[in-house]
């Protein structure tokens, strides 16, 4: 029997045009595809000969247990099949790839990793900004607000880095994270929320930290979204917003302005 293998494939944030050629080739040769919820469902058309197993994992929703997914990966691969595990964004960023790599290696299964575009990068592209900017910040910090133990990140330490904060899985905790960050950052720190980044349904909200939670609620912004906070976000022009323009609370009649002007 030929040895099987597992490919951890990063499908990007939604638009199939953002898939790499390497990802498309892997899908074309797949025997089994394990598909996450947040992946564009049309991706299965690129794997015409594969059995598709849906193993969705969504915060706050009924999800396929991680241990069960790992057992499926090992079982199919040990049968000699070419298994492609499809994850949204980049598999190596908040995609539980570490847990799956450990399980597969313990089982003696060969693993290939194919990178993709994380939603944080797609969100920045939609806003027309760079996540790093010499005039504003020394780097970017990717952080999840959804911790396994239910605790909160150290927002004070994160604010002290001076980096752009790209917060994943933070919409259910947006009130708390804004309150925590406001204790350490200026109220007029530029902020944004991008929902369904990199997909045809993308929605963008530009605002500032002290208005972030209220504006996001008013605009109906929900998961899956990326929250971006920091000076570099101020380089976005309000014209890129698709919901609630970035007004200052005291000059709402002045009309949309760039966040760099508003700050």
| Residue-level pLDDT at 58 | 55
262, two tokens = 């508003």
d(CA 174, CA 177): 5
For the chain (263 residues), the mean pLDDT of every run of 10, in chain order, is 89 92 97 93 96 77 83 96 96 93 96 96 96 95 84 93 97 95 97 94 95 96 96 93 56 35 32
Please state the separation of Cα 257 from the chain's center in Å: 27
Q: Where are the domains of the chain?
A: 5-114, 119-262
Token pair listed for 22: 């390497």
What CATH fold (topology level) applies to the domain 119-262?
A: 3.30.950
Q: Is 227 helix (H, G, I), strand (E, B) or coil?
A: strand
- Answer whether 35's CB lies under 8 Å from 53's CB: yes
- CA angle, 91 as apex, 88 and 95 as ends, to 5°? 80
- Catalytic site positions: 36, 57, 169
Fold for the domain defined by 5-114: Cobalt-precorrin-4 Transmethylase; domain 1 (3.40.1010)
pLDDT value of position 254? 35
pLDDT given at position 116: 95
């Amino acid at each position: 029997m030929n040895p099987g293998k597992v490919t951890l494939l990063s499908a990007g944030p939604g638009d199939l045009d953002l898939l790499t050629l390497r990802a498309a080739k892997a899908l074309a040769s797949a025997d089994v595809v394990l598909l996450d919820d947040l992946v564009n469902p049309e991706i299965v058309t690129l794997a015409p000969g594969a059995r598709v197993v849906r193993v969705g994992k969504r915060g706050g929703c009924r999800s396929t247990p991680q241990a069960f997914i790992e057992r499926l990966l090992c079982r199919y691969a040990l049968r000699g099949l070419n298994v492609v595990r499809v994850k949204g964004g980049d598999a190596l960023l908040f995609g539980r790839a570490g847990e799956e790599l450990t399980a597969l290696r313990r089982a003696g299964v060969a693993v290939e990793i194919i990178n993709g575009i994380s939603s944080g990068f797609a969100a920045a592209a939609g806003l027309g900004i760079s996540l790093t900017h010499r005039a504003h910040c020394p780097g970017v910090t990717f952080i999840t607000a959804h911790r396994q133990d239910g605790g909160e990140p150290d927002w004070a330490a994160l604010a002290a880095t001076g980096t752009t904060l790209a917060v994943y899985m933070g919409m259910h905790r947006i009130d708390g994270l804004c309150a925590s960050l406001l204790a350490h950052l200026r109220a007029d720190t530029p902020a944004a929320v991008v929902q369904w980044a990199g997909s045809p349904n993308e929605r963008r909200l530009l605002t500032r930290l002290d208005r972030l939670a209220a504006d996001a609620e008013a605009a109906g912004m929900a998961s899956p979204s990326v929250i971006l906070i920091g000076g570099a976000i101020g380089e976005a022009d309000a014209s890129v917003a698709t919901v609630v323009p970035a007004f200052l609370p005291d000059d709402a009649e002045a009309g949309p302005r760039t966040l760099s002007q508003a700050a």
